[in-house]
């Protein structure tokens, strides 16, 4: 999905132009202060970061900017890099240009140092302070043992230049990402500044120390940190929270230093509570779904009898028919594995009709199939169809029908054994149906020819409705055959 990149404007801070954007129209302003480097237009190409910005803009008026020397802001000579105070003044200039009198300040990583200094220096313009993955100092000392020593920082300079020139070595920034995700993140950072400028910024950041500033911060503060952060140790987050009066510390699982690459919504939930005073209600990912599974009976034996080439041709014709009927009944193909199909529908009626249509069309071609329909509450993961990665409310989905009739002891019907090639099972929980009894006492209540038998209640306290249909070829096509038995 294409995202509309907001219009970039410029704020004047002394002789420097600072690139900035304003997104959303919420009642409270929030200024996002990025980490090491940034690019406010290219940032929208990172799907997770863009989604995070959109979420922030849904409850605030979000103000974004690039610090001087990075992104779309004016470059500065590498031998005249700005001080932390100058960068803090850039933040003030951006707020003035955006018409913001007071704002929540959200600083990530190195951007947190500037945010802390601004909150301490301008409490009248700071509603609250939020930080993520920040450090109070970048140099080792006896009372701050988590930072690098001077020798280690000199050694790290070579690694920084290599990261920018080769695009390698970004695993510690976001270890949760796939190789493709890391490559995308690397491309983004490398376009935010030049290798020389980045090395100079690294040197400048090594001189930052806001430890003395922390006790002077008198605004509500939220300190967030991941417990296995590979850039700034969790103890650094705890140090900051312990020294800001009244600060609240929230620790998150994981090792990613970037806030948006791993469960960014959990971080934004905390910020939303700071801004609005209300924690967003968790959104349920449980939905009512109907899924259909089909496969060919005796496929393994048929491969051996027909040979690979003939089987492949037969399988191709099978796929055409199944996809045609799924589409005809407004279903959605979720997955295909060999001769098995998994599809989702908006209701059981269409799924059943699709199953019958598939069976009849394939029978003409000499292909017999099994079909199973599941209707129930499922848990949805990601953005795929509910059927694609679903879990029924009472356990995982069982596509096999029970080998014994669930009401056998009550009504005296006999089970024909495992599902035959012409059986369609419709259930909300196959696991439950395999063990539950039926409250009907009349055998005829379960027998219908070519139609769903009347629903019967289970002994289970959940009282899920279960119905099985036997679409036996013998019962439907043989003269004088007995009606199908609901299994």
Q: Rounded to an integer, what distance in angstroms lies between the CA atom of residue 277 and that of residue 97?
A: 27
Residues 262 and 312 in one domain: no
Q: How many CB atoms lie within 10 A of CB 365?
A: 11
User: Residues in the chain, how many?
Assistant: 487
Residues 270 and 290 in one domain: no
Residues 47 and 157 in one domain: yes
Q: Is residue 258 part of a domain?
A: yes
Q: Is residue 1 part of a domain?
A: no
Q: Which of 252, 276, 300 is the last residue of a domain?
A: 276
- Domain span at residue 69 reads 9-276
Residues 237 and 332 in one domain: no
Q: Which of 276, 302, 327 is the last residue of a domain?
A: 276
Q: Is residue 3 part of a domain?
A: no
Name the DSSP letter for residue 30.
Answer: E
Q: What's residue 3's pLDDT?
A: 62
Residues 389 and 469 in one domain: yes
Residues 240 and 339 in one domain: no
CA angle 68-73-79, nearest 5°?
40
Q: Is residue 82 part of a domain?
A: yes
Q: Is residue 338 part of a domain?
A: yes
Q: Is residue 201 part of a domain?
A: yes
Q: Which of 276, 302, 328 is the last residue of a domain?
A: 276
Residues 193 and 305 in one domain: no
Q: What is the CATH number of the domain that holds 416?
A: 3.30.70.1230
Residues 338 and 361 in one domain: yes
Q: What's residue 284's pLDDT?
A: 61
- 3-class DSSP state of 89: helix
- 3-class DSSP state of 121: helix
**pTM of the complete model:** 0.62
Residues 331 and 370 in one domain: yes
Residues 366 and 338 in one domain: yes
Residues 177 and 197 in one domain: yes
Q: Is residue 94 part of a domain?
A: yes
Q: What's residue 469's pLDDT?
A: 31
Q: Is residue 219 part of a domain?
A: yes
Name the DSSP letter for residue 353.
Answer: H
The two most distant CA atoms of the chain are separated, in Å, by 97
Residues 310 and 183 in one domain: no
- Rg of the chain taking only CA atoms, in angstroms: 31
pLDDT tens, position by position, for the chain (487 residues)? Answer: 446 789 999 999 999 999 999 999 999 999 999 998 999 999 999 999 999 999 999 999 999 999 998 999 998 887 777 788 888 999 999 999 999 999 999 999 999 999 999 999 999 999 999 999 999 998 899 999 999 888 888 888 777 777 777 766 778 889 999 998 998 998 998 899 888 787 888 888 788 899 999 999 999 999 999 999 999 999 999 999 999 999 999 999 999 999 999 999 999 999 999 999 988 776 666 677 789 999 999 888 888 888 888 888 889 999 999 999 999 998 988 888 888 999 988 888 889 999 999 999 999 888 999 999 988 776 665 444 433 333 333 223 333 333 333 333 233 333 333 333 334 444 333 333 333 333 333 333 333 333 333 332 223 323 332 332 333 333 333 333 333 322 3
Q: What is the CATH number of the domain that holds 266?
A: 3.40.50.1820
Q: What's residue 283's pLDDT?
A: 65
Whether 60 and 271 have beta carbons less than 8 Å apart is answered as no
| CA distances (Å), origin 480, targets 345, 407, 469, 475 | 35, 25, 19, 8
Whether 410 and 438 have beta carbons less than 8 Å apart is answered as yes
Number of domains in the chain: 2
Whether 328 and 354 have beta carbons less than 8 Å apart is answered as yes
Q: Rounded to an integer, what distance in angstroms lies between the CA atom of residue 344 and that of residue 348?
A: 10
Q: What's residue 346's pLDDT?
A: 82
> Which pLDDT tens digit goes with each residue over 448-465?
333 333 332 223 323 332
The count of C-alpha atoms lying within 13 angstroms of the C-alpha of 249, restricted to the half-sphere facing its C-beta, is: 18
């Amino acid at each position: 999905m294409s995202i509309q990149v907001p219009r970039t404007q410029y704020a004047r801070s002394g002789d420097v132009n600072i690139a900035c954007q304003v997104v959303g129209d919420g009642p409270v302003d929030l200024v996002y202060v990025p980490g090491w480097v940034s690019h406010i237009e290219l940032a929208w190409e990172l799907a997770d970061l863009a989604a995070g910005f959109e979420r922030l803009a849904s409850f605030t008026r979000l103000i974004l900017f690039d610090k001087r020397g990075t992104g779309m802001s004016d470059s500065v000579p590498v031998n005249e890099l700005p001080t932390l105070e100058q960068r803090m003044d850039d933040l003030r200039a951006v707020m003035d240009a955006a018409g913001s009198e007071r704002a929540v300040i959200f600083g990530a990583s190195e951007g947190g140092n500037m945010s802390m200094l601004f909150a301490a220096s301008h409490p009248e313009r700071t509603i609250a302070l939020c930080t993520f993955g920040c450090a109070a100092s970048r140099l080792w000392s006896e009372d701050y043992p988590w930072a690098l020593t001077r020798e280690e920082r000199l050694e790290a300079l070579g690694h920084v230049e290599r990261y920018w020139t080769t695009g390698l070595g970004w695993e510690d920034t976001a270890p949760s990402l796939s190789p493709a995700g890391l490559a995308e993140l690397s491309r983004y950072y490398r376009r935010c500044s030049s290798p020389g400028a980045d090395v100079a910024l690294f040197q400048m950041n090594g001189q930052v120390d806001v430890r003395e500033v922390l006790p002077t911060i008198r605004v509500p503060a939220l300190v967030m940190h991941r417990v296995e952060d590979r850039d700034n140790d969790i103890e650094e987050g705890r140090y900051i929270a312990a020294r800001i009066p009244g600060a609240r510390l929230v620790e998150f699982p994981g090792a990613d230093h970037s806030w948006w690459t791993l469960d960014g919504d959990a971080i934004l939930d905390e910020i939303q509570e700071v801004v609005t005073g209300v924690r967003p209600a968790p959104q349920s990912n449980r939905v009512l779904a109907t899924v259909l599974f089909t496969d060919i009976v005796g496929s393994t034996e048929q491969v051996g009898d027909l040979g690979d080439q003939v089987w492949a041709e037969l399988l191709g014709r099978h796929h055409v028919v199944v996809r045609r009927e799924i589409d005809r009944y407004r279903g959605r193909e979720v997955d295909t594995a060999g001769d098995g199909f998994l599809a989702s529908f908006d209701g059981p009626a269409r799924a059943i009709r699709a199953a019958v249509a598939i069976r009849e069309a394939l029978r003409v071609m000499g292909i017999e199939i099994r079909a199973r329909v599941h209707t129930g509450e499922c848990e949805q993961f990601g953005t795929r169809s509910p059927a694609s990665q679903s879990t029924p409310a009472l356990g995982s989905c069982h596509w096999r029908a029970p080998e014994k009739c669930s009401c056998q002891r009550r009504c005296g019907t006999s089970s024909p054994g495992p599902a035959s090639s012409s059986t369609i099972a419709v259930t909300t929980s196959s696991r439950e149906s395999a063990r539950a009894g039926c409250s009907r006492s009349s055998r005829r209540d379960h027998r219908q020819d070519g139609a769903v038998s009347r629903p019967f209640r289970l002994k289970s306290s959940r009282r899920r409705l279960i119905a099985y249909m036997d679409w036996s070829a013998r019962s439907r096509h043989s003269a004088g055959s007995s009606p199908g038995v609901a299994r």
